[in-house]
Amino acid sequence: MSFFDTIPVGRLLNCFVADLDELDQLLPIVVEEFLILFLMVVAILLVVSVLSPYTLLIGIILVTICLVYYLKFKMAISMFKRLENYSRSPLLSHIVTTLQGLSSIHIYGKTEDFISKFKRLSDTQNNYLLMFLSSSRWIALRLETMTNLLTLTVALFVAFGISSAPYSYKAMAISLILQLASNFQATARIGSETEAYFTSAERMLQYMKMCVPEAPLHTEGMSCPPGWPQHGEITFQDYQMKYRDNTPIILNGINLTIHGQEVVGIVGRTGSGKSSLGVALFRLVEAAAGRILIDGVDISSIGLEDLRSRFSVIPQDPVLLSGTIRFNLDPFDCYTDEQIWNVLDTTFLRMTISKLPQGLQAEVVESGRNFSVGERQLFCIARAVLRKSKIILIDEATASIDVETDTLIQHMIREVFQGCTVLVIAHRITTVLNCDRILVMNKGEVVEFDRPEILQQKPESMFASLLATANFSMS
C-alpha cells in the first residue's frame, strides 16, 4: 500500500500508458530499424573498402569522429527524453483530477484556471519533446555532412584513378557510397533514439524496486484452525504501527481486548488513529512491534488470504466493480440466487433490483455510477451480510445516507450482525451511542475504553467532550 500512497496517480498512468506503450509498440520497431540500417552501413563500408582500400582508412576516421559526437551528446538526448517522460506525469494527473472534479470546477467558476494550467503543463511537455527531437536532428545534420565529405573523397579517388580497380567497380563504389550518406546519419540518429526509449524501461525498473510485495497469501506449514475465528475475540498486545520506515509511529503501544460478539464504537478526532486500527487488522501495513491475536491466533503467522477472507469490511466510500449485480455481491460464485435475494431483502434493496429488467444480471457500470451513493453503500452492506463473517469492520457506513435510512440501517446492523464482533469507526459520534463499548483514540493511543453510559457520566472524559461538541454542532 505504501507504493500507491507515495506515487501520484499521474505517474502511475504515465507508467501503465506511455512507458508500456513505448516498450511494447515503439521500441521493437525502432530497434529493428536500427539493426537493419547498422548492418547495411557495415556491409557498404566492407564492399567499398575492398573496391577502394583507401576508403577503409577514411571510414575508420569517420566512425571515430561520429563515436565522439555520439558519446558527447547521447547524455543530452537521454536527458531530454527522460524530462519529456517526467513532464507527462503532472499533465496526466491534472487531466484525471479535472475529470473527477468537473462539477465543482464549473460551480466555482474555475474553468479558465484549469484550462490555463492544462495549457502550461502541455507546453512544458511539448517543449521537452521538441528539445529531444531537435537534438536528434542536430546530430543527424552534422553526421550527414561528414558522410557527404566521405562521398566526395571516394569520388576524387575514383576520378584521379588512384585505385587500380576496373571502372565498373569504381562506379559501383560511388553508387554504394551515395547510399551511405543517408543511411549512416539515420543509423546514428535512430541508435540514439533507441537508447533514449530505454529510459521507459529504466523508470519501470525503478517502480519495480520501489514496490515491495506484501506478505505471502498462504504460509506453508501454517493454516487457520477449522472454523476460525469462532468467537471473534481481538487482542492487541503492545502493538505499534507506522505506514513507512521514514514516517512516525501511528499506533503507539496499543493494549486492549475486544470480546467476541461485542459491538465496539471507535471514535476520536481526525488523525487519532481510528482507521489505522482497521489497516492493522487487515495487515495492509505490517506491525512495527507487538502483535494482534484473534481467538488466540497471531495474525502475522498466517497468510493474507487466510486472514482477510475471514473478515468483512463496509467502507465509507462504497466500492463497486464493473460487471453485474450478482458479481459485485458474490464475485466467487459461492451463494445461490435465493440467498442473495434474501440478503437484498434484509438491506432494503430487493425492490430496487426487482424493478430492473435483468434482475441480478443487471449491469453495474464503472464505479457503480448508475446507482446512487446510498444504494452503493447498501450494496457494500449486503456483501458483508452475505459473507457471514465473524468480524465486521464498519467505517461510517451510513455517512452517505439520509437520517431516516440511517436509523433503519443502524437497527438492521444490530440485528443482522448479531453474534459477530463489530468494529464501528465513527465520524458522527451519535451513531455509536448504542454500542456495547466505546474506544476513544487520541494521537495513536487508547485514551478511554468503556461503556458509553459510563463515559458520558464523566465530565472530564474525552468522549463526553466529543459528544458535547457534536450536539452543539447539530443544534
Domain end call among 178, 194, 210? 210
- In sequence order, which residues have a C-beta less than 8 Å from that of residue 430 and are 6 or more positions away? 467, 470, 471, 474
Q: Are residues 122 and 245 in the same domain?
A: no
Q: Are residues 312 and 204 in the same domain?
A: no
Q: Give the CATH number of the domain where residue 183 resides.
A: 1.20.1560.10
pLDDT tens by residue, 154-189: 677 766 765 566 767 777 777 777 777 778 778 877
Q: Are residues 150 and 239 in the same domain?
A: no
Q: Are residues 328 and 425 in the same domain?
A: yes
Rounded to two decimals, the pTM is: 0.71
Q: Are residues 197 and 290 in the same domain?
A: no
Q: Are residues 203 and 152 in the same domain?
A: yes
Q: Give the CATH number of the domain where residue 278 resides.
A: 3.40.50.300
- For residues 30-45, give the mean pLDDT: 88
Question: Strands 263-268 and 421-425: what pairing?
Answer: parallel
- Say whether the peptide bond before residue 229 is cis (omega within 30 degrees of 0): yes
> Is 224 among the domain residues?
no
Q: Are residues 131 and 181 in the same domain?
A: yes
pLDDT at 116: 94
**Residue 326: how many CB atoms within 10 A of its CB?**
19
Q: Are residues 195 and 249 in the same domain?
A: no
pLDDT at 226: 77
Q: How many domains does the chain have?
A: 2
> Is 229 among the domain residues?
no
- For residues 450-459, give the mean pLDDT: 86
Q: Are residues 241 and 200 in the same domain?
A: no
pLDDT at 218: 78
> Is 218 among the domain residues?
no
Q: In the chain, what percentage of residues exceed pLDDT 70?
A: 91
Q: In 3-state terms, what secondary structure has residue 351?
A: helix
Cell of 53: 582500400
Q: How far is CA 133 from the centre of its chain?
A: 31
pLDDT tens by residue, 9-26: 888 888 888 888 888 888
What are residue 292's phi and psi, to 5 degrees? -120, 130
Q: Are residues 281 and 404 in the same domain?
A: yes
Q: Are residues 184 and 264 in the same domain?
A: no
pLDDT tens by residue, 437-446: 999 998 888 9
> Is 136 among the domain residues?
yes
Domain span including residue 469: 234-474
pLDDT at 473: 56
pLDDT at 239: 92
